[in-house]
Structure 1
Amino acid sequence: MHDTDPSDLESFATILAGELPGRWTSQYHPDHGGGADYDHLTATVWDMDQTAHSISTHGVAHCAVLTRTDDDTRLLVIDHLGQPEGFLVAALAPAGLPDAAYAGVREPDGLAVPADPFHAAEAATLHLLPRYADAVAHARRNAAALEAPLPEQIDLTWADDDLTTPVPESVALARLLTEHGFVHDSRQDRLVLPGDDTAVQAQSVRGLGARLAELGVGVGMRHPAPPAPATASPLPARVTPSSARRR
């Protein structure tokens, strides 16, 4: 039985930490009368929805940070300003990953919850924490791919008027290709440089080649292998009459 007031942010966060799965701690950051600066926390809020909007509109005078000690997952709890009651709970991006690792990763956007830590814990467990786990796994895969060594050469293959190449394992190289006009063809799972405008295509290839040369990566140009010639079916063997003597 909790004898704290869950409508108070500090108390709400304390109770919430005890109801989430795993071992969590709660650290309250108080309101210092307008003198508090929590930009170092709000800058890492992994949200492009209502939590980000609230922070940009109202700022953050006080907050609480919940940390799961098992894996350092962090949640930020702030007042839901503009609403009669309730709080916003959002994930904080993990530390130690390069900015490029977040490219293409969908934010695990936070939740608006009433001043009921038990309801909030259920909502966070069912929705926010799974989204956060998926986003972290994606970002970490990106980070690992960023460290993948660049190949010695990439091969561009003509397909009609287009140039195609397999999607490279290196995220940095894939980004470089897309910056020079290549688009992903999901049907072929290849990167394609369209040949609708041959002048633009040639300019893209020249720019890409110069950039790859700086990185020590060569460019090979290939034409698709011609189809194998059809082989004529052998004529059936001619049947000759038997030379056996007749009776």
Structure 2
Amino acid sequence: MHDTDPSDLESFATILAGELPGRWTSQYHPDHGGGADYDHLTTAVWDMDQTTHTIATHAVTHCAVLTRTDDDTRLLVIDHLGQPEEFLVAALAPVGLPAAAYTGVREPDGLAVPADPFHAAEALTLHLLPRYADALAHVRRNAAALGSPLPERIDLTWAEDALTTPIPGSAPLAKLLVEHGFVHDTRQDLLVLAGDDTAVQAQAVRAVGARLAEIGVGIGMRHPTPPAPAAPRPLPATTTASAARTR
């Protein structure tokens, strides 16, 4: 049994940290009465919904930061103004990644959760944490691509019912293609997307195109160049029998 009051933000955050999956710590940032400056935290909120709106319209005078020690995932807990039985929990963006890596990535918007930390942990586990994991993976892919030279476009070539493409020089691009069903054909040294199921193949191509567009890489479809017609063989020279001499 917890002997703390979960309706108090500090107590709520402490209990919540123990209920989330993984190993979490909770750090409380108190209200100092003179208007504490927590801009270094609020500007890192990865949210474009109610948490950002609350921060933009009301000063954050106290808060708590939950940190998952396994991977440094961070969550900010603040009061939900006007809703005394709720708190707002939002993800904090990871540090050390370039701003360009966030292009095209949807924010893992936070949640209004009940002051009951057990129900709050369930809601965060089902909704916010999966959204955060997806957004973080997307940002890291973008960051990896920024660190590698990218082609202007990737060409997919029809080979019977399959699609093939040379293995990109950028490892993140190659990984992206493999994640969407392309398989390395070692004999041809090409990535191949089989056409056994054309609906699955088309879905994979659409998904790849969308992901490439997010990082500024186009996609082209082409048919293989037909072999050049064989040059006609020269006709064999005809021999004419010489006329017999007559005396």
Range of TM-score over shorter length: 0.5 to 0.7
> 1:170 Cα deviation (Å)?
11
Structure 1 pair 228–44 and aligned structure 2 pair: CA distance change class (3 A): same
> 1:59 Cα deviation (Å)?
1.9
The amino acid that maps onto 1:106 is R
Equivalent residue, structure 1, for 2:18: 18
> 1:148 Cα deviation (Å)?
1.1
> 1:84 Cα deviation (Å)?
3.2
Equivalent residue, structure 2, for 1:70: 70
Distance 1:51 1:188 in 2: 32
Equivalent residue, structure 2, for 1:99: 99
Structure 1 pair 6–101 and aligned structure 2 pair: CA distance change class (3 A): same
How is 1:173-184 mapped onto 2 (pairs within 5 angstroms)? Answer: none
> 1:40 Cα deviation (Å)?
0.3
Contact residue 6 and residue 15 of structure 1 kept, 8 A? yes
How is 1:1-247 mapped onto 2 (pairs within 5 angstroms)? Answer: 1-150=1-150, 189=209
> 1:149 Cα deviation (Å)?
1.6
> 1:188 Cα deviation (Å)?
10
TM-score normalised to the size of structure 2? 0.63
> 1:34 Cα deviation (Å)?
3.5
The amino acid that maps onto 2:38 is Y
The amino acid that maps onto 1:13 is A
Structure 1 pair 187–149 and aligned structure 2 pair: CA distance change class (3 A): closer
Distance 1:57 1:145 in 2: 37
Contact residue 145 and residue 169 of structure 1 kept, 8 A? yes
Contact residue 23 and residue 69 of structure 1 kept, 8 A? yes
Secondary structure at the counterpart of residue 83 of structure 2: coil
Distance 2:103 2:39 in 1: 22
Residue-by-residue CA offset, 1:127-158 (whole Å, 9 max, x unaligned)? 1100000000000000000011255xx58x9x
Distance 1:105 1:119 in 2: 28
The amino acid that maps onto 1:20 is L
> 1:85 Cα deviation (Å)?
2.4
The amino acid that maps onto 1:32 is H
Distance 1:187 1:32 in 2: 50
Distance 1:96 1:38 in 2: 19
Secondary structure at the counterpart of residue 136 of structure 2: helix
Distance 1:187 1:137 in 2: 16
TM-score normalised to the size of structure 1? 0.63
> 1:225 Cα deviation (Å)?
9.7
Report sequence identity in percent: 79
Q: Which runs of 5+ in 1 are unaligned?
A: 158-167, 172-184, 193-223, 231-247
Secondary structure at the counterpart of residue 119 of structure 1: helix
> 1:228 Cα deviation (Å)?
8.8
Distance 1:59 1:113 in 2: 20
Secondary structure at the counterpart of residue 96 of structure 1: coil
The amino acid that maps onto 1:128 is L
Secondary structure at the counterpart of residue 66 of structure 1: strand
Distance 2:208 2:21 in 1: 42
> 1:105 Cα deviation (Å)?
0.5
Structure 1 pair 169–186 and aligned structure 2 pair: CA distance change class (3 A): farther
The amino acid that maps onto 2:81 is L
Q: Count how many residue pairs are aligned between Structure 1 and Structure 2.
A: 178
Distance 2:68 2:228 in 1: 65
